[in-house]
Chains A and B, each alone.
Chain A
Amino acid sequence: MADSDELSTRQGQVQVYFTTNSIDIELPEGKRQLLVPTDVRRYGLSQILNSESMLDTPAPIPFDFLINGTFLRTTLDEYLTANGLSSETTLNLQYVRSLIPPLYEASFEHDDWVSCVDVLSGSSTAGSWDVQGITAGNERILSGSYDGLLRVWNKSGQAITTSVSSSAGGHTSSIKSAKFISTSQIASSGLDRTIRIWKYTESEDGFTADLKPTMELYGHKGSIDSIDVHGPSNRILSASTDGSIGLWTTQKSSAPAAPAELLTSGPTAKRRKLTTSTSTPQRGPLSLMSSHTAPATAAIFNPLDSTVAYSASQDHTVRTFDLATSSLVDKRTASHPLLSLTALPGISTQLLAAGTSARHITLLDPRISAASTQVMTLRGHTNKIVSLSPDPESNYGLISGSHDGTCRVWDLRSSRQGTKDEGGGLVGEAVYVVERESQKADSRRLVGGEGIKVFGVVWDKDVGIVSAGEDKMVQINRGRGVTRAEGA
């Protein structure tokens, strides 16, 4: 009798073993193994974990569960059936703090396509280089537009300053990339083949500000689609459609002279000269590294060592440069043109993520010692991936911006084996898709991302996920807890 009772109980239950990488929410050894009903889903498991006899958390922590690298999205029973497993199996459940959808917060309207965004906050790169820091509530958002203008916004969506037009020393064509170097300095670049350095000064009350052009940098022969900055060493990196990677200084006194042949020539330049009323100092590059055989699309400093640069190109390669000698150190070849690049710091093995024209993200290990180059492929976008930014709170998260009109959040802990058609390997799928709020009312699937292409995205710990695009909007979505740091 007792035997059959136990059997019937057993039939609706499955043995699970709870694990986590977060030390602060680790279960004592004796509590990790448990018999749970097979009809529970994520929510039920989360309740069990939070209960008095388990973690006994003062306030419930929503958890997500990874089984074999995949987030549980069904009942355990359905999972067992789908994977052809018997309920006699012991399921290994890795629990992580639950993902919170990146909820929409605000949009800032522009007159033209917005190509790039950056954030200045207490936790942003430029903010962290500042001794004084940025206090909460005083964060700033920088946007660059196809109208050739930079704008600095406060979090309420007021543009507290707009850069001057070309006749007063501003860009003569569309801006493609812009970054805060510090709380008082900005760099921007674009189709006019220049990098411009701006002095940024805010009024005491912070409601208005001034952007004064202080230097124009010449050297590239094509559009400069991407720049990166390193404030402490006053360095700028640039990637141009001419295929070269530029290294520049923000210091006027130590910057080489500008190459004369790229300053004035022909009627176009003459006309522009006449209409320019101000004369901003012009300088040239510390070095130009011509190594790529097709347009260079991104150049970044190694976040752990600013004397090392990585670049991505339409020539399918990621290249590593030693900036002390301006020499090419390494080349990694991917299977498709690369349009964006970011470093995922903090992971013990250093990883780069590169967005391709072929609608996926390639994760690669740039170390020369790395045995295999390609680590993982992230799939799901339906158009070119042109911008990437790491999750500021997790070593496993990143966001991508694509011409398909979405930003996608990826959690590298979740992966599956790729199909033969995908070329095998580890494949990751997005955990969230952030759509353009401007397009919410319209359910049509837009051909070629027309009107909604995302051109730039940055993920800031304080401000959130900030993205920019063809809809002439900077859009902000909540960023905290979207993916969660292990052991945070």
Chain B
Amino acid sequence: NIDPASLLPKLPRPEELKPFPTVCSTLFRGHEGRVRSLAIDPSGVWLASGGDDGTVRVWELLTGRQIWSAKIGDEEAVNAVRWRPGRDTVILSAVAGEDVYLLVPPIVDPQTDAASRELLDKGFGHATNATQALTANGARKEPVAKWTRPGSRLEDEGVLIKITLRTTVKVISWHRRGDFFSTVSPTAQKSAVAIHTLSKHLTQIPFRRLPGIPQTVQFHPSRPLFFVATQRTIRSYDLQKQELVKIIQPGARWISSFDIHPGGDNLIVGSYDRRLLWHDLDLSTRPYKTMRFHSKAIRAVKYHKGGFPLFADASDDGSLQIFHGKVVSDMMENATIVPVKVLKGHKVKSALGVMDIDWHPREPWCVSAGADGTCRLWM
């Protein structure tokens, strides 16, 4: 008689998988109402956040001190904040209602400030006509987006560009080179997914038809692939060839979020039906591992991108779960996935818990945005 458990591969103990975040090190208090989104800047010094109070804020990451804030939403929540990748500029993107804003917070030296403003302004003067979609028969349609100055009140605060779309924007996702970014407006039907070119102030709608309501999107970390998640599937497209490459089927009922491993061949998916799924894109379109640790919806999942084999998810049960997730280069061997820590502290408010997470660019530290109005840094 063989004990079946003895045949299972032995997982390392969490203590052997250090370092990973274990305690709340800094609290960020200031938002009124839910914090919807947050992101650490590429230098690892600043934290940006946005929330239901219509403000976007920048904080000193280590101390929790708020350094700057701007009110960009009158009645609308700030649903997403994301930094432009790269260290040559400091540009923050944020969405409130139907508007996407590009801003240069006054936290940088004059040289970087000038470089950032110059990059934002470069697109003015490019053919404004370009910001138009052509219908099938070639007739000109109303532009899908307008790139404008947001007015002197906001411009004085460093909010320099406003891109107005047709319906509420929920997601921003940047391409690693920092010239393209994509937005998702789930209710916009055919124009739900837009790709914007910063240098040309150009907005394009890459898909005429989508098989469902888009939830979120991601650019592949190294190849010209673009991933679109609808409620049930994630499709990857070759942007150059304009063709569908793969349909990933996590088996979740309603996908909330996904992230691509920096190596490019693995993917995690979180779902409102409490599932966390790991896909090995080399192996199958079905998940390699399905995990159900949370008692409520998973709202965000994210890989560490700075060299640590870590990923995390965030849930409406108020907790974050930290995982060790080591990808091996061997095609025959699967990733080792070990849950290493549950981080608790956010209070659940009106059935909402943790809304967003991000990792530090270098250290095994993560941040979380809560429906309780706080952001937290975990070390």
Contact = CB atoms under 8 A, between A and B. Distances in A.
Interface of A: 113, 146, 173-174, 191, 193, 220-223, 241-242, 261-269, 271, 294-295, 314, 337, 339, 357-358, 382-384, 386, 403, 421, 447-450, 453, 455, 470
Contacts of A173: 67
A447 to B, nearest CB: 5
A386 B109 CA distance: 24
B69 interface: no
A264 B113 CA distance: 10
B264 interface: no
A149 to B, nearest CB: 16
A262 B25 contact: no
B44 A384 contact: no
A267 B158 CA distance: 9
Given A113-B65, A314-B44, A269 B377 contact: no
Contacts of B109: 193, 220-222, 242, 262
B63 interface: yes
22 contacts: A146-B65, A221-B108, A221-B111, A221-B112, A222-B109, A261-B110, A266-B110, A266-B113, A267-B155, A267-B156, A294-B362, A314-B44, A357-B25, A382-B23, A383-B23, A384-B25, A403-B25, A447-B376, A448-B25, A448-B27, A448-B376, A450-B64
B67 A421 contact: no
A448 B377 contact: yes
Contacts of B15: 421
Nearest to B157: A268
Given A113-B65, A174-B65, A450 B114 contact: no
B197 interface: no
B114 A241 contact: no
Nearest to A271: B156
B379 interface: yes
B363 interface: yes
Contacts of B365: 357
Given A295-B44, A383-B25, A403-B25, A261 B63 contact: no
Contacts of A470: 63
A447 B67 contact: no
Given A241-B45, A384-B25, A263 B65 contact: no
Given A265-B110, A265-B113, A357 B363 contact: yes
Nearest to A339: B62
A450 B379 contact: no
A455 B63 contact: yes
Given A113-B65, A314-B44, A262 B111 contact: yes
Contacts of A453: 63-64
B110 A447 contact: no
Given A263-B110, A450-B64, 10 more contacts: A223-B45, A262-B110, A268-B113, A357-B62, A447-B27, A448-B25, A448-B27, A453-B64, A455-B63, A470-B63
A358 B44 CA distance: 17
B67 A191 contact: yes
Contacts of B108: 221
B67 A266 contact: no
B232 interface: no
Contact of B111 (A265, A314, A447): A265
Interface in B142-168: 155-156, 158
Nearest to B46: A241
Contacts, number: 92
Contacts of B106: 268
B18 to A, nearest CB: 10
Contacts of A382: 23
Interface of B: 15, 19, 23-27, 29, 43-45, 62-65, 67, 106-114, 117, 155-156, 158, 345, 362-363, 365, 376-377, 379
Contacts of B363: 314, 337, 357
A314 B62 CA distance: 11
Contact of A261 (B19, B45, B111): B111
Most chain A beta carbons < 10 A, residue from B106, B109, B114: B109
A295 B41 CA distance: 13
Contacts of B26: 403, 448-449
Contacts of A242: 109
B361 to A, nearest CB: 9
B34 to A, nearest CB: 19
A221 B43 CA distance: 12
Contacts of A383: 23, 25
B114 A266 contact: yes
A386 B64 CA distance: 14
A357 B378 CA distance: 11
Nearest to A219: B109
B63 to A, nearest CB: 7
B89 to A, nearest CB: 12
A222 B29 contact: no
Contacts of A450: 27, 29, 64
Nearest to A265: B110
A264 B108 CA distance: 13
B207 to A, nearest CB: 38
A260 to B, nearest CB: 10
Contacts of A267: 155-156
Contact of B24 (A264, A268, A294, A447): A447
A470 B27 CA distance: 12
Contacts of B67: 173, 191
B279 to A, nearest CB: 33
A81 B24 CA distance: 39
A269 B108 CA distance: 11
Contacts of A265: 110-111, 113-114
B198 to A, nearest CB: 18
Contacts of A113: 63, 65
A113 B110 CA distance: 26
Nearest to A450: B27
A336 to B, nearest CB: 8
Contacts of A222: 43, 45, 109
A51 to B, nearest CB: 49
Contact of A269 (B24, B110, B379): B110
Contacts of A191: 67, 107
Given A222-B109, A357-B379, A384-B379, A295 B114 contact: no
A196 to B, nearest CB: 16
A267 to B, nearest CB: 8
Contacts of A449: 26
A357 B158 CA distance: 32
B359 to A, nearest CB: 15
A341 to B, nearest CB: 16
Contacts of A221: 108-109, 111-112
Contacts of B27: 447-448, 450
B64 A448 contact: yes
B157 to A, nearest CB: 10
A268 B29 CA distance: 27
A271 B155 CA distance: 13
Given A295-B44, A453-B63, A264 B110 contact: yes
A269 B111 CA distance: 11
A392 to B, nearest CB: 28
Contacts of B63: 113, 403, 453, 455, 470
A85 B19 CA distance: 38
Contacts of A337: 363
Contacts of B113: 265-266, 268-269
